[in-house]
Structure formats: structure tokens, C-alpha cells
């Protein structure tokens, strides 16, 4: 690989090492990429590996999704791919993108672009470009504005992206104002890349993000949601979240996060609830076993958002936030709905927020086996996440108190395991099913069966499993009390 344009001043040994990493990564996919490049050249067109693929190759983390750009228009790209690609899709055709698969690699080939943006919706209006330099200039950040031409492996870096990778810095090819003016979502993408790559944001970029944060209002909720999800699932979400708050971007779509800065934590162990929340998110990440658990991270982020609305000061000066979990669950549901998250995701995050304080009475020795059963039943399949969220919420710097909380939760988990082994807590259901209820009471399907089922479930939670005879006696006793039988 050779350089078509010299990078800006930087340590030459570091750049050479970075290029060696890129070559090693590219060799892994080069049979397919080079073969595709030769096909485009034979058809009279250019083909370049670009964007995140080049960036990730330089970082030694190239995946199986490769991005290319070309001077060929979509119809011409389709002709090149026909008979070579194992499968082809055209879902991105309106943006000049044709997708294909070959040897386990997903390829996206996009015609050179010189797009402009609708000044109201800020959605891209695609205009095909005529050169690689033009295409690279319109990209969001310098680290995404590099290319490797195929099949010759010529490296092009007109905006110093290699320098910025070496410096772990996020800059824009044009001025930040021009770049964010083209597409305000790029401000959120800057925070997302900071979280994903552990890169710093250049001061000029940070300044523009602050000055132009209100422009994010022109972006659809779905686009914001997708970028925010990637940010929260980044390797360092705390850096990304701080950027959102510090620049005012969070205020545009997640004001509950900014609001936490004003609320003093009742434990007085943190500067404010905002800092406590970031620590809880960081703790939650440490409990993940494999990959990002967005539901756990989002619950950790939102678990205390009900505190501003429930803050109360006692005569002795102590601050409390009674029932903030209830208010927080309601706010979380409303916010995630506004961000267009799927209903099932909203339901799970909201349930965790509502349940996150339930544990804090356990250490006083007040929980009966019935309370443990209800804890497990209310959590359902969220119980493993609730365990992690509750442990993450312990951020006290008092070592003795932290050790006691950890021991209490260990004891609760042991108790759950013991009762589960005896009673199958994973399936807490009435000891009689609907058919048995109808047969014993002589009633058809309907509301009575549902009420009876609910009553038997409450008995199951309160007293544990009943044998068949005892369950039938309890059902008949309830039916008499309800006036259903004599």
C-alpha cells in the first residue's frame, strides 16, 4: 500500500505501523476485494475501499462488512456484480448503493456522491459525484475520509485521517460548521465515535456541537435513536454521554439525563445524581458477559430519572426521592416511546427501572419467602438483568456499607436459588389450570376463570406450591366467598 497524498506531520514510525496493520487486515479480504476491483476496472470503472472499512483496517479491527465507492452508477454496478456475487440487494438504490455478498463478506458499493441536504428535514438529497476526492470531502470525519484503490492498493488520505487515527482524534474534513450544517446528525455521530473508538473530539468540533446543538431538532427520531443506541453500546459510553450533556445535545432528545445534574444524591457520596448514574452505567457494562446488553445499559442510564420530580427536603436537611422508581418508569416509557424504540424493548427497560429499588428492604430481614417469590415473579425473565442492575446501583464509597450490600444481595440470590430448586420459581403459576377451574366450578370460559386463576396465583406466591387436593379446597373456598357456589 502506498500513499497518494502525504499525511500531515506525525510520527513516521507510528504511521508505518498503522499502514502495516491495514495491509495485514486487507490481505484477509483482498482476494474478494481485489477480484471485485479487477471486474470494475475491466468494465471501465474505478473501485475504492472507503470509510469505516479503511478506518477499521488501520485500527486492526476490520470486520466482514466492506464499504466501497465507485464512479459507476447503480445500473452499471449491477452489471458488474451479475454472475459474480452470490446474492444482490437494492434496498439502498435510491442513495446510489447496491449490496452484495461473496465468500461470507457483505459488500456495499456506492456511487461517488456530492450530496446536499434538505434544509427542513436535513435528509440527504443524493447527487452523484464524479471523483474520489469529491466523495471523500463530503464525508463526516477525517477518519472516515480515506480510501484504498483496488486492485492496486493505492492509499488516499487528503484530509489527514491517518494522522487523526494516530492521535485518536475526531475532526471534520471541512469546517465543523459546514459539516454539521450539511447534516446535524453528525454531531451525535461524533459523540458515538468517541464512545465506540475511545477517541477525543477536537476542540473546534466540540465548540460547533455546542453552538449548533439546536439543529439536531431537525433530525428524525429514528435516526437519533439509531445513533444513540450505538453510542450507548460503545466501548466507552461514559465519554459519549458526557459529550451529549456538555454540548447540550442531550437536552434536545434526552433532557432527563441533563436534569440529573441538578439533583443531589441522598447518600451524599457523589457530587450529584448525574455522576452516580454514569457510575451505574459503567458498573452495568462490567457485568455484561458477552457483547452489549442495551436493555441493561439503558435501564442503568434511566433508573434515577424520576428523582428531579420527587425531590423533597426534610426539616433536618436530608433529601429524599420517595417513589422515584415509579415516576422514573413512567418517564422512561414516555421518552423511549418518543425515540421510537420497539414496544418490547420499552417494556423491559421500564420494568427494570420500576423494580430497581425493590431489593433495598431485604437487608433488614423483613422479607418472607412470599416476598422472594413475588420479587422473582415480578421480574420474570428480567431477573438476571435485575440482579446486575441492583448490584450496579451500589456506588457508595463506604467500604463497610458496600460490603454489607453485596453480602445481602448474595444472600438474596442464594435464597432465590434455594426456593427455586424446591418450587420451580421460573414458572410461578396457579396449582390448577383453566380447564381444572372450569370443571370444578362448572363455569364456561370467561372472566370468572380469570379471577379464579389470579386468586390461585396469589395463593401460590404467598404460600408456595399446593398439592392438588389443597388447591381444589382453596378454589372452592374462594368460590363460596365470591357467591359463585353455595
Residue 8 is predicted with a pLDDT of 41
Residue 296 is predicted with a pLDDT of 98
Q: What is the pLDDT of residues 439-466, one digit of tens each?
A: 778 888 888 878 877 777 777 766 666 6
Of residues 407 and 43, more confidently modeled: 43
Residue 454 is predicted with a pLDDT of 77
Find the range with the poorest average confidence among 37-41, 120-124, 282-286: 120-124
- pLDDT of 170 higher than 80: yes
- By percentage, how much of the chain surpasses pLDDT 90? 54
Residue 4 is predicted with a pLDDT of 38
Strands of 71-157, DSSP E: 87-89, 97-102, 105-111, 116-117, 124-125, 147-149, 154-156
Give the Cα separation of 68 and 47 in Å (integer). Answer: 7
Residue 11 is predicted with a pLDDT of 40
pLDDT band at 229 (very low <50, low <70, confident <90, very high): very high
Give the Cα separation of 416 and 244 in Å (integer). Answer: 39
- pLDDT of 265 higher than 80: no
pTM reported for the whole predicted model: 0.80
The answer to whether the beta carbons of residues 466 and 431 sit under 8 Å apart is yes
Residue 446 is predicted with a pLDDT of 81
Give the Cα separation of 199 and 287 in Å (integer). Answer: 23
Give the Cα separation of 360 and 382 in Å (integer). Answer: 18
Of residues 152 and 80, more confidently modeled: 80
Residue 299 is predicted with a pLDDT of 97
User: Packing angle between helix 12-42 and helix 74-81, nearest 10 degrees?
Assistant: 80
- Three-state DSSP class for residue 125: strand
Residue 161 is predicted with a pLDDT of 94
pLDDT band at 3 (very low <50, low <70, confident <90, very high): very low
Average pLDDT over residues 204-220: 96
- By percentage, how much of the chain surpasses pLDDT 70? 84
Find the angle CA(194)-CA(198)-CA(200) to the nearest 5 degrees: 60
- Mean of pLDDT over the chain: 85
Question: What DSSP character marks residue 98?
Answer: E
Distance of CA 52 to the CA centre of its chain: 19
- Three-state DSSP class for residue 201: strand
Residue with cell 463526516: 140
Q: What is the pLDDT of residues 408-438, one digit of tens each?
A: 888 888 888 887 776 554 444 555 677 777 8
Average pLDDT over residues 245-262: 94
Residue 344 is predicted with a pLDDT of 97
Q: What is the pLDDT of residues 313-328, one digit of tens each?
A: 777 767 777 789 899 9
Q: What is the pLDDT of residues 61-110, one digit of tens each?
A: 888 999 999 999 999 999 999 999 999 999 989 889 999 999 999 999 99
Of residues 175 and 373, more confidently modeled: 175
Give the Cα separation of 349 and 389 in Å (integer). Answer: 11
Question: Which cell numbers in the block locate residue 285?
Answer: 457494562
> What ranges do the domains of the chain cover?
2-167, 290-427, 429-481
Buried b (16+ CB within 10 A) or exposed e, 152-182: ebebbbbbbbbbbbbbebbbbbeebeebbbb
Q: What is the pLDDT of residues 338-390, one digit of tens each?
A: 999 999 999 999 999 999 988 876 656 667 777 788 788 888 889 999 999 99
Thinking of the domain 2-167, which architecture would CATH place it in?
2-Layer Sandwich (3.30)
Helices (H) and strands (E) in the chain, counts: 23, 14
Amino acid at each position: 500500500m502506498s500513499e497518494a497524498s502525504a499525511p500531515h506531520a506525525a510520527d513516521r514510525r507510528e504511521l508505518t505501523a498503522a499502514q502495516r496493520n491495514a495491509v495485514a487486515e486487507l490481505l484477509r479480504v483482498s482476494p474478494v476485494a481485489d477480484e471485485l476491483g479487477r471486474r470494475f476496472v475491466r468494465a471501465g470503472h474505478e473501485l475504492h475501499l472507503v470509510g469505516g472499512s479503511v478506518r477499521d483496517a488501520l485500527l486492526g479491527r476490520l470486520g466482514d462488512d466492506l464499504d466501497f465507492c465507485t464512479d459507476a452508477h447503480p445500473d452499471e454496478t449491477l452489471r458488474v456484480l451479475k454472475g459474480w456475487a452470490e446474492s444482490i440487494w437494492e434496498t439502498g438504490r435510491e442513495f446510489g448503493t447496491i449490496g452484495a455478498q461473496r465468500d461470507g463478506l457483505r459488500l456495499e458499493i456506492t456511487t461517488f456522491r456530492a450530496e446536499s441536504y434538505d434544509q427542513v428535514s436535513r435528509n440527504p438529497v443524493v447527487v452523484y459525484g464524479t471523483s474520489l476526492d469529491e466523495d471523500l470531502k463530503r464525508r463526516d470525519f477525517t477518519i472516515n475520509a480515506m480510501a484504498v484503490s483496488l486492485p492496486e492498493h493505492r492509499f488516499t488520505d487528503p484530509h489527514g485521517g491517518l494522522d487523526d487515527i494516530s492521535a485518536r482524534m475526531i475532526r471534520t474534513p471541512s469546517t465543523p460548521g459546514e459539516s454539521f450544517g450539511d447534516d446535524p446528525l453528525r454531531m451525535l455521530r461524533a459523540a458515538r465515535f468517541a464512545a465506540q473508538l475511545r477517541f477525543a473530539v477536537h476542540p473546534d468540533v466540540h465548540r460547533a456541537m455546542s453552538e449548533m446543538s439546536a439543529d439536531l431538532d431537525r433530525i428524525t427520531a429514528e435516526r437519533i435513536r439509531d445513533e444513540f443506541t450505538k453510542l450507548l453500546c460503545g466501548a466507552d459510553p461514559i465519554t459519549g454521554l458526557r459529550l451529549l450533556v456538555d454540548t447540550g445535545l442531550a437536552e434536545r432528545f434526552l433532557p432527563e439525563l441533563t436534569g440529573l445534574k441538578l439533583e443531589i444524591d441522598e447518600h451524599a457520596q457523589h457530587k450529584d445524581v448525574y455522576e452516580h448514574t454514569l457510575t451505574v452505567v459503567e458498573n452495568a457494562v462490567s457485568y455484561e458477559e458477552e457483547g452489549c446488553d442495551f436493555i441493561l445499559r439503558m435501564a442503568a442510564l434511566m433508573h434515577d430519572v424520576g428523582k428531579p420530580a420527587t425531590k423533597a427536603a426534610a426539616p433536618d436537611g436530608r433529601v429524599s426521592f420517595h417513589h422515584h422508581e415509579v415516576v422514573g418508569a413512567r418517564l422512561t416509557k414516555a421518552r423511549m416511546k418518543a425515540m421510537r424504540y420497539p414496544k418490547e424493548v420499552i417494556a423491559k427497560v421500564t420494568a427494570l427501572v420500576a423494580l430497581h429499588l425493590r431489593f433495598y428492604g431485604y437487608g433488614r430481614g423483613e422479607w418472607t419467602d412470599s416476598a422472594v417469590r413475588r420479587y422473582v415473579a415480578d421480574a420474570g425473565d428480567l431477573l438476571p438483568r435485575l440482579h446486575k442492575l441492583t448490584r450496579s446501583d451500589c456506588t457508595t464509597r463506604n467500604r463497610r456499607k458496600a460490603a454489607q450490600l453485596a453480602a445481602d444481595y448474595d444472600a438474596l440470590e442464594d435464597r432465590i436459588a434455594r426456593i427455586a430448586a424446591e418450587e420451580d420459581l421460573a414458572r410461578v403459576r396457579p396449582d390448577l389450570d383453566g380447564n381444572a377451574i372450569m370443571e370444578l366450578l362448572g363455569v364456561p370460559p370467561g372472566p370468572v376463570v380469570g379471577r379464579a386463576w389470579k386468586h390461585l396465583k396469589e395463593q401460590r406466591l404467598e404460600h408456595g406450591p399446593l398439592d392438588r387436593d389443597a388447591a381444589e379446597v382453596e378454589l372452592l373456598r374462594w368460590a363460596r366467598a365470591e357467591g359463585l357456589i353455595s
